[in-house]
Structure 1
Amino acid sequence: MSAAEADDRAESIRMIRDSAAAVVPPDGDLKRIRALRFQEPGFDPAMLRQMGEMGWIGLRVPEALGGAGLGLGEMCALAEELGRGLAPEPLIQAALSAQLLAAAGGKGALAKLLSGEALLLTAWQERADTLEAPGTPEATRLFLPMAGGATGFLLPARIGDRLALHEVPASAVRLETAPTQDGGFLGTITPPRDLGTPLATDIGPALTEALDEAALVTAAYLLGGMERAFAMTLDYLRTRQQFGRIIGTFQALQHRAADLKMQVALTRASIEAAAAALDAGVRGDARRAAVSRAKARAAEASLLVTRQSIQLHGGIGYTDDYDVGLFLRKAMVLANQFGSAALHRRRFMAVSPEVEA
């Protein structure tokens, strides 16, 4: 990449961050988030429409199909800013569906999905902690975030040796939802026998790539959350007094804060390196290794940083009224989405070119 191209890319990412800040202030209060907790569907449909109008759902969709045609660097920057604000809208899941509809040639409700008018969720998961989509036609589909707000679902279904894609309206499935630790909801759906409208006969490769990208973007969301929680903790350490001294002057607490800062920095480096590699066109095992390195680190670091942030706040950190705890709750829910740290460590060891056979 030339210097001019690098500058253009940096400017594009800066503009994405600025647009996110206009909708979800990165250091604003969390009253909106608190008001949505444990209230079906768990997010604000009007906010999702606004995200669609700003082009976020179609950020990775080619311009010819109505998207922005931008890279993972921009998508990860956007997710990071949303993570700082704990935005509950299922943007990552909507973007995954948009990529599949784009791979299907723009069939189905792509335009409505990109605008935020409709919410299509891809029901690919049949068991816990996996990135594999078996596509068993009659299988119950699990762990669909904010499924109560979906207008329809995309169903990957294996027909012969290929993974076909079908679209089914929400009214045609049996849906059950359960609350999550952060105040959102996960859905379980039972598909109809006819599987709905066929959109594509072979979506397997596109789904594999889209799931990897969703894992990386989820890692970026976790990075934004842990960074905000750490910033809140530093502010607390600089102002809270104990025994007549600012507690941030205590050496033991300084050491703990330094360790957390290192975790945040390493997570950022891993995510940015993975996004740059995928945008440069890396394929195969090297692609999977880059994603798994980033997701494993983000999953573990987000839980470590948010837990330590609560501890460093002392007793007030454990109260539900204090905002820092919301970041731990979010990390507890997202750490395992699109693969846990354990899954991604195993995959990294299996595919990493740095590991000798």
Structure 2
Amino acid sequence: MDNLGTIGTTEEQIELMDVATNFCRDKSPVDKVRALIDDDLGYDPAIWREIGELGWLAIAIPEAHDGVGLSMAEVVPIAEQMGRNLMSNPFGSTTLAAQALLAGGSETQQAAWLPKIAAGAAATLALREDNGDWDLSNIDASGVESGGTVILSGKKQLVLWADSAELIIASVKIDGAVRFALIERSSLAEGALRRETVIDETARSYEVTLDGVTLSADALFDAGRTRETLEKVELAAGLLHAAEMTGGAQSVIDYTLEYLKTR
């Protein structure tokens, strides 16, 4: 439960809300949102770089890994304003990948990836499969570990922003136990990503084929921290999505009131 924050409004949250309100409003006008729906990438890479420079991806990462050292509670104002302005980019998926690393990654894994994420590298999680089960431990993707290497197989679905992610953290079963594997995007075979059609046209979602991906055993999370990692991801994801929907709902209210005043 650590690093998920507590109820209440802090000075940092108020400050971040002010900055995020102006940034998201100015950088994500409705005409730009509509234009990006037909864009292959789905977001503006220049704005993504600005988000990295603002330090928003570093907020809930410890200072020891070049982060700001705050909690997920301080990420909420940003997610809320992104939802309010339909600003799509890998912010949510990257934030959740960092939380997964903090919950289950080794010190070496955290040291290798958290500073990169804090500096603006995109990342994502690959947890869902075609069974559609809410139980994230019900998976078929697997890995075979031998001689210090792991060979993966299977498919993951609804992997957000996989084409932009430098790191994909995937759940697989090894010897019957759910494990998390750190997969560099560059290690995927050509054609491993297939664009999916989803209801949210502002997002980009992919099916990821893991067949033949070979990793060092050092790329696996500790087997003893799988449950903790899943719980952390579910809590953090619920918080982020609630914030986005709150922002979206507020935007609907604003549009409705404006319409009623001008009709």
Of 212, 216, 221 in structure 2, the residue corresponding to residue 193 of structure 1 is 212
AA in 2 matched with 1:74: E
**From 173, 178, 182, the counterpart of 2:196:** 178
Identify the residue that residue 115 of structure 1 maps to in structure 2: 119
Q: Which amino acid aligns with 1:189?
A: V
Answer yes or no: is the 8 Å Cα contact 1:96–1:122 preserved in 2. Answer: yes
**Unmatched 5+ stretches in structure 1:** 1-5, 241-357
Q: Alpha carbons of 1:150 and 1:166: their partners in 2 closer, same or farther (altered >3 Å)? A: closer
Counterpart of 1:86 in 2: which secondary structure? coil
Larger strand share, 1 or 2: 2
State the match for 1:262 in structure 2: none
Task: Tell me the distance in 2 between the aligned counterparts of 1:179 and 1:53.
Answer: 31
Superposition map of 1:300-319 within 5 A: none
The alignment-based identity, stated in percent, is 26
**Structure 2 unmatched runs, 5+:** 1-5, 143-152
Distance (Å, rounded) in 2 between the aligned partners of 1:14 and 1:207: 30
Identify if the C-alpha distance between structure 1 residues 207 and 108 changes in structure 2 by more than 3 Å, giving closer, same or farther: farther
Q: Which residue identity does 1:185 align to in structure 2?
A: R
Q: Distance in 2 between matches of 1:28 and 1:185?
A: 17
**TM-score, length-scaled by structure 2:** 0.78
* Structure with bigger gyration radius: 1
Give deviations 1:297-332, integer Å, cap 9, x for gaps: xxxxxxxxxxxxxxxxxxxxxxxxxxxxxxxxxxxx
- Which of 1 and 2 has higher RCO (CA within 8 Å, sep 6+)? 2
What does residue 102 of structure 2 align with?
102
Residues 28-82 of structure 1, C-alpha deviations (whole Å, 9 max, x = no match): 7322212211211211222222222222223222222222222233222221111
1:209-239 Cα distance to aligned partner (Å, 9 max, x none): 1222112211110110111111111111111
Give deviations 1:261-282, integer Å, cap 9, x for gaps: xxxxxxxxxxxxxxxxxxxxxx
Compute the TM-score of the two structures, normalised by the length of structure 1: 0.59
| Residue 167 of structure 2 is aligned to residue 152 of structure 1 | yes
Structure-2 change in CA distance of 1:162 and 1:34 (3 Å)? closer
RMSD (Å), alpha carbons: 2.5
Indicate yes or no: 2:69 matched with 1:69: yes
Aligned partner letter, 1:180: V
Greater share of helix residues, 1 or 2?
A: 1
Q: CA deviation at 1:149?
A: 2.0
CA distance in 2, matches of 1:107, 1:134: 30
SS in 1 for 2:163: helix
Q: How many angstroms apart in 2 are the aligned matches of 1:130 and 1:79? A: 23
User: Is this contact kept in 1: 2:52–2:119, CA < 8 A?
Assistant: yes
Quote the Cα distance in structure 1 between the aligned partners of 2:185 and 2:29: 36
